[in-house]
């Protein structure tokens, strides 16, 4: 018994050492033979399965809403925090404008300027808004309030009918505004003596000693639904 324990300890140690020298991967051991999950069907998850595949609009529910209906929903459920005409209120900043501001400073971030796919607004409003009663709006109400917000942003006309077919087709100005993670993007070295003193963000606007092209150093602040005035000033018509 004792020698058996010893053998298995040695074996375990060898496994540990092998794993320690491997590049990565956690050593969690083998999955236990028994599983304790209980079968469930997709039909049982209808009320839970609320995420929208926003690029395609997959999983958008039936229903429809108009700009006019959305204005009424907005004024009843959203205005208290987000303000008149979604231009910013006591708690949050503007949800209108900023289109064309991504190469400017500040970048003004709104559903109109930032979202690459229109159904993002449906997914978010349904799961999280209004903050004091999430998931309380009907599908018709969510479509309607989305129609209202996108109309204020100049992305859909006043007579637009928002539904599962029309929503994914709205052309979004920031559709191609994203790149996937490509870090590491810095290559610092471990200098020990006679090093360049620690630089600042402002120093990055000056030409790099190594000849690296300096990134365009923005000077202003980016607005994240934070400043009603900046947002309102950006023209919704200024689309790229």
58-87 positions binding another protein, by CB under 8 A? none
Given 171, 185, 211, 237, the residue binding another protein (CB under 8 A): 185
Q: Tell me if 29 contacts another protein by CB under 8 A.
A: yes
**Binding track over 113-152 against another protein, x by CB under 8 A:** -xxxx--xx-xx--xx--x--xx-----------------
6 preceded by a cis bond (ω within 30 of 0):
no
User: Whole-number minimum distance, CB 11 to another protein, in Å?
Assistant: 18
Q: Tell me if 11 contacts another protein by CB under 8 A.
A: no
* 50 contacts 122 by C-beta, under 8 angstroms: no
Of the candidate spans 6-14, 69-77, 112-120, 229-237, the one that interacts with another protein by CB under 8 A turns out to be 112-120
The C-alpha atoms of residue 93 and residue 227 are separated, in whole angstroms, by: 5
DSSP assignment, residue 193?
S
| Helix ranges (DSSP H) in 52-172 | 67-77, 79-82, 111-114, 119-128, 139-152
Q: Tell me if 37 contacts another protein by CB under 8 A.
A: yes
Q: Tell me if 5 contacts another protein by CB under 8 A.
A: no
Nearer to another protein, 3 or 200 (CB): 200
DSSP assignment, residue 125?
H
Q: What is the largest CA-CA distance in the chain?
A: 82
Number of residues that bind another protein (CB under 8 A): 88
Q: Tell me if 220 contacts another protein by CB under 8 A.
A: yes
Given 4, 22, 62, 188, the residue binding another protein (CB under 8 A): 188
167 Ramachandran zone, left/alpha/beta (phi>0; psi -120 to 50): alpha
């Amino acid at each position: 018994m004792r020698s058996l324990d010893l053998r298995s300890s040695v074996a375990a140690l060898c496994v540990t050492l092998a794993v320690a020298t491997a590049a990565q991967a956690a050593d969690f051991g083998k999955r236990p033979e028994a599983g304790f999950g209980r079968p469930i069907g997709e039909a049982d998850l209808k009320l839970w399965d609320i995420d929208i595949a926003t690029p395609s609009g997959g999983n958008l529910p039936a229903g429809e809403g108009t700009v006019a209906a959305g204005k009424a929903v907005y004024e009843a459920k959203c205005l208290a925090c987000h303000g008149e005409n979604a231009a910013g209120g006591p708690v949050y900043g503007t949800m209108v404008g900023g289109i064309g501001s991504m190469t400017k400073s500040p970048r003004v971030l709104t559903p109109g300027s930032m979202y690459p796919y229109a159904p993002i607004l449906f997914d978010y409003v349904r799961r999280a808004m209004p903050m004091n009663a999430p998931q309380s709006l009907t599908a018709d109400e969510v479509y309607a309030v989305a129609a209202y917000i996108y109309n204020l942003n100049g992305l859909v006309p006043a007579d637009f009918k928002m539904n599962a077919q029309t929503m994914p087709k709205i052309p979004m100005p920031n559709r191609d505004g994203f790149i996937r993670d490509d870090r590491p993007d810095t290559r610092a070295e471990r200098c020990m003596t006679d090093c360049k003193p620690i630089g600042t963000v402002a120093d990055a606007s000056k030409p790099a000693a190594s000849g690296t092209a300096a990134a365009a150093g923005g000077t202003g602040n980016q607005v994240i639904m934070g400043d009603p005035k900046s947002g309102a000033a950006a023209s919704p018509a200024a689309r790229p």
